[in-house]
Structure 1
Amino acid sequence: METHVALLPSAGMGHLMPSLRLAAMLASRNCKVTILTAQPTVSAAESNHLNSFFSAHPHIQRLDFHVIPLHSSNPHDDPFALQFEAIVRSVHLLPPLLSSLSPPVSALFLDIAAAECVDQLADEPSLSISYYILSITSARFYSLITHLPHLTLEGSCNNLQLPSLPSFSVSNIPPVLFNPENIFTTRLISNLRAVSKVKGVVANTFHWFEPETIEALNSGRTMITLPQFLPIGPFKYHKSVCENTSLPKWLDEQPAKSVVYVCFGNRTAMSKDQIKELGEGLLKSKQRFLWVLKSVKVDRVEETGLEELLGSSLLGRIKEKRQGMVVKEWVQQEEILSHPAIGGFFSHGGWNSVMEAAKSGVPTLDWALNGDQRFNAEAMEKAGLGLWPKHWGWLGERLVKSEEIEEKITQLMEDHKLRSMAQKVGEEATKAWEIDGTSEKVLGQIIEMLKLKV
């Protein structure tokens, strides 16, 4: 019988894209794949990418999962965290959907933000399937959050030591996790309690990049019992997911390794003052740059113009010097990072970005702004992919001045040792997917486990 698996992505492009890539990877290994798409989506970007993906992958089935909307009276609540909550609260609607699929589903892959669904689904008599979690963060951060329900962070000293795992710097833990009342924190802890019921955790990382942490997670000597950690990264890129985008023609006109690509993700919004300091720093560095600028927190169409964000003076000098290009529309990041003109990446340290840079061997400057990004930057720096100026702090803690930005961008683009180390990372990322490579082997292991369930 054909192996049939279902995937339940969560909200936000940072969650959706890894799920789509995993779906395509499983489909390429002769699995029948159905994606349960939570409706309505939070943003237009999600809807557009889903439509594009299914158009390009007609062999992958789409099944809309209409969740019960969760409304909040607090305007500061994260709309994506509310969608995570809505998905979990609508879990009782899933069994009929899953039972209707043919051939029967042997496994369900859930985004880690919806892991709590396993608690209810595992006891559903109409289903006899295996459950896997998709982790979209570093093994380093995953190892912390799996222990979060068992930790008391308040009053912790500078370092936190857990059995068999590398020690954690408390200053790297996102401040939101110190607030037990925050919706994100409560949802995360609820999800993590379901981890023990899943067959494995599939992760977008690879053994060479985080060997110490991955080996510790699979050692059986951690403080709590964890499912098998299955690293199959860097996730393979499928251009057709964003086939409606194109590279700026300006990039094709630039010399090899001469451009620094600047992008801080889909959900990071800087203040206008910080945007201007960043722009000044880019100009002062005298390096060519391609800057994807964002001014709103939710990944949706921008309404604020470039002149309003940058100021007419700064925007005028950028155009006059012809040193760089600033865009506000969605770009296909992995395609840009693999372009021969790109010589460096100035990023927020989102894990998708780290893995995409690793795959292309592009030296990276990480300004960890929020969430898991300090842990990600720590893993990135340790692997030799790039630089992490820890003293810049979390987003909004202080105004990072143009001179500081200039200094780090110059180092990023002109340090030959850094470039050589990043190239080595790219070579190891490629090896992970060669025959007998670590990620190739683990994906084969997952496919064999799925076949046993059929």
Structure 2
Amino acid sequence: MASTDRRRAHVVLFPFMAQGHIAPFLSLANLIRRARPDHALVTMVATPAVANSLSTTLAADGVRVHALPFDDPPADDLIALFLASESLLPAFRHFLAGLMASDPTAHVQVIADMFLAGWALAAARDAGAASHSAVLTTGAYGSAVYFSLWNSVPLIPATTSSTDGELLFRLPDFFPDVDVRRSQLTDHLAGADGTDAWSTFISKQIAAFHNTDALLVNTAEDLEPKGMLMLRQLFNNVPVYPVGPLLLGPTAALSSPSSPAPGTKRNAILSWLDRQPPCSVLYVSFGSQYTIGTSQMFELAMGLEISKHKFLWVIRPPAGHDVNGEFRPEWLPEGFRERVEASGRGIVARCWAPQAEILAHAATGAFLTHCGWNSVQEGLANGVPLIGWPLSAEQFYNAKVLVEEMGVCVEVARGMHATVGSGEVAAAVEMVLGDTVEGGEMRRKAAEMKEVIAAARGIIVTGAMGRRSKWCKGCSPTLCIVDVTNVHVTHAHTENMFMHYGTYQWQGCVYDE
């Protein structure tokens, strides 16, 4: 039995400064506060821009925000942003030193984003934090393939596809073998030689993963059993725990920083959905950071019109233009927006849209997505089948697992330079939304994934016992999950860690077999 020491924990959350990474950390902060409102302090460390957008909402939920000085580089140069984030190290060290000096009895527990791990976890260790861990905000399968590829640079093709002759790259880290196509590689990954800026940066993060107390993955064991197995093969010297899905749903206590104020008039988009038949509308969105090219936008628009199905397209300027700038009519076929909106066939929304509520709406029948992991989980949490158009990073491998393992997705295109025709778009929409055998099977499997996610979230919220997890007495699974399918480790063995086959191992927590 573990000690009965009940010293207060202070959890420091440190997300990367991008919306796709911030949202899971908001969910994590919410879960910690709800599970241990009187026994855990939570501080979110962020850049000034992020801190300003979150401070009011987080303060209302009892989460502190600490801003670290940072001059944001251009957001469209991702590797520059990654490298610039390392300049936060001195300020983060100073923050940790002050935090621990102000309350020497607190158990400071640092949880850093996957792209800050290379230096933030070392800072936590040097400062004497009780524990430190990294959060993979992406899914298990996508993360495993992504980091395995970077482990293998420079990439050398193993063979070619027997169906279309495309180059295939075989990953040696997994059994059975996993093959990746050339079209599933970003240009900077395909061209990496191990000494370039991308390779150097990612290798630091991978090294940090091997030298931390635990890896926390934004997924559920039953949602991605193969992906979790692959991650444990790849990082076999460190515990790997599923702690998701880390979602901010329509009723979440913490909201997205881009959401409108509570109590405002019902969104016009939702009002339009209210008037549509169940499962009749295709929702189209490439996320908050991504977009497609002008020619692709033309073909997508024509394909949607040809399909005759209703749709809601949250649109941004095409690649090569300011993604947050003004949308110009010439980027779409002449009269397209006017025709579809006048006929009631669809909406082309050039504004913020409440994605979680759209995906939860009864009228939404399918989701054309870039396969970012937050969007994927939001869609599957509502049983919505997917049409995939992955654009970057691990999105290609998210699409791969959605198609090959889950059977809930059809891929219509791949990458920012893909050539796609309007007929292909229309065919994919008809397959998923129409009365087809394939669409029916995708809807059935998406409904199964909805149940899996509901069970995982039910554990976190209600305290129900999971099929693969057990609780410590008085804790939520977010605080202490014992993965009984793997190696059993007693609490006494890990008494000084807050990780114990789950997100948090609180001092004095007692687990009964």
TM-score range, shorter chain: 0.7 to 0.9
The letter for the 2-side match of 1:174 is T
Query: Match for residue 96 of structure 1?
Result: 94
The letter for the 2-side match of 1:396 is H
Cα deviation for residue 164 of structure 1 reads: 4.3
Measured in 2, the distance between the counterparts of 1:26 and 1:299 equals 40
Match for 2:417 among 396, 404, 413? Answer: 396
Match for 2:465 among 414, 436, 440? Answer: 436
For residues 176 and 306 of structure 1, do their structure 2 counterparts lie closer, same or farther at Cα, with a shift above 3 Å needed?
same
Cα deviation for residue 436 of structure 1 reads: 1.5
Query: Match for residue 132 of structure 2?
Result: 131
For residues 61 and 205 of structure 1, do their structure 2 counterparts lie closer, same or farther at Cα, with a shift above 3 Å needed?
same
Matched, 1:190 2:179: no
Matched, 1:54 2:110: no
Give the stretch that moved more between structures: 165-174 or 271-280.
165-174
Cα deviation for residue 299 of structure 1 reads: 12
Matched, 1:417 2:441: yes
Query: Match for residue 109 of structure 2?
Result: 107
Equivalent pair of 2:21/2:137 in contact (CA under 8 Å): yes
Structure 2 segments unaligned to the other structure (5+ residues): 1-6, 159-167, 459-463, 472-476, 482-501
Q: Report 1:43-442 matches (<5 A).
A: 48=53, 50-51=54-55, 53-54=57-58, 56-57=60-61, 59-67=62-70, 69=71, 78-101=76-99, 103=103, 104-118=106-120, 120-122=122-124, 124=126, 126-148=127-149, 150-157=151-158, 158-171=168-181, 172-178=184-190, 179-180=192-193, 183-218=197-232, 222=233, 225-237=236-248, 238=252, 240-242=254-256, 243-244=259-260, 247=267, 248=269, 249-295=271-317, 302-305=324-327, 307-384=329-406, 386-389=408-411, 392-398=413-419, 400-414=420-434, 415-434=439-458, 435-437=464-466, 438=468, 442=477
Cα deviation for residue 311 of structure 1 reads: 4.4
Equivalent pair of 1:348/1:367 in contact (CA under 8 Å): yes
For residues 141 and 298 of structure 1, do their structure 2 counterparts lie closer, same or farther at Cα, with a shift above 3 Å needed?
farther
Equivalent pair of 1:118/1:194 in contact (CA under 8 Å): no
Measured in 2, the distance between the counterparts of 1:315 and 1:366 equals 23
Question: Greater helix share, 1 or 2?
Answer: 1
The letter for the 2-side match of 1:244 is P
Measured in 2, the distance between the counterparts of 1:452 and 1:361 equals 39
Equivalent pair of 1:99/1:127 in contact (CA under 8 Å): no
The letter for the 2-side match of 1:190 is K
For residues 143 and 341 of structure 1, do their structure 2 counterparts lie closer, same or farther at Cα, with a shift above 3 Å needed?
same
Equivalent pair of 2:214/2:240 in contact (CA under 8 Å): yes
Percent identity reads 23
Measured in 2, the distance between the counterparts of 1:406 and 1:24 equals 40
After superposition, the C-alpha distances for 1:32-60 in whole angstroms (9 at most, x for unaligned) are 2100012345xxxx854x24632542x00
Measured in 2, the distance between the counterparts of 1:182 and 1:409 equals 40
Cα deviation for residue 332 of structure 1 reads: 2.6
The letter for the 1-side match of 2:417 is G
Equivalent pair of 2:294/2:319 in contact (CA under 8 Å): no
Query: Match for residue 13 of structure 2?
Result: 7
Measured in 2, the distance between the counterparts of 1:439 and 1:429 equals 14
For residues 450 and 370 of structure 1, do their structure 2 counterparts lie closer, same or farther at Cα, with a shift above 3 Å needed?
same
Cα deviation for residue 153 of structure 1 reads: 3.8
Measured in 2, the distance between the counterparts of 1:224 and 1:55 equals 36
Cα deviation for residue 107 of structure 1 reads: 0.9
For residues 307 and 19 of structure 1, do their structure 2 counterparts lie closer, same or farther at Cα, with a shift above 3 Å needed?
same
Measured in 1, the distance between the counterparts of 2:469 and 2:350 equals 34
Measured in 1, the distance between the counterparts of 2:139 and 2:234 equals 19
Backbone CA RMSD of aligned residues:
2.8
Give the stretch that moved more between structures: 364-373 or 169-178.
169-178
Measured in 2, the distance between the counterparts of 1:83 and 1:105 equals 31
Cα deviation for residue 166 of structure 1 reads: 4.1
Query: Match for residue 497 of structure 2?
Result: none
Equivalent pair of 1:217/1:226 in contact (CA under 8 Å): no
Cα deviation for residue 420 of structure 1 reads: 1.5
- Aligned with 1:352: secondary structure? helix
Measured in 1, the distance between the counterparts of 2:301 and 2:332 equals 8
- Aligned with 2:451: secondary structure? helix
Query: Match for residue 495 of structure 2?
Result: none
- Aligned with 1:170: secondary structure? strand
- Aligned with 1:370: secondary structure? coil
TM value normalised by structure 1: 0.87
- Aligned with 1:256: secondary structure? coil
Structure 1 segments unaligned to the other structure (5+ residues): none
Equivalent pair of 1:276/1:310 in contact (CA under 8 Å): yes
Cα deviation for residue 377 of structure 1 reads: 0.6
Equivalent pair of 1:364/1:386 in contact (CA under 8 Å): yes
For residues 165 and 112 of structure 1, do their structure 2 counterparts lie closer, same or farther at Cα, with a shift above 3 Å needed?
farther
Cα deviation for residue 279 of structure 1 reads: 1.1
Measured in 1, the distance between the counterparts of 2:427 and 2:47 equals 44
Cα deviation for residue 370 of structure 1 reads: 1.9
Measured in 1, the distance between the counterparts of 2:347 and 2:503 equals 44
Matched, 1:449 2:505: yes
- Aligned with 2:133: secondary structure? strand
TM value normalised by structure 2: 0.78
Give the stretch that moved more between structures: 167-176 or 111-120.
167-176
The letter for the 1-side match of 2:231 is L
For residues 123 and 109 of structure 1, do their structure 2 counterparts lie closer, same or farther at Cα, with a shift above 3 Å needed?
closer
Equivalent pair of 2:317/2:328 in contact (CA under 8 Å): no
For residues 404 and 418 of structure 1, do their structure 2 counterparts lie closer, same or farther at Cα, with a shift above 3 Å needed?
same
Equivalent pair of 1:302/1:328 in contact (CA under 8 Å): no
- Aligned with 1:155: secondary structure? coil
- Aligned with 1:15: secondary structure? helix
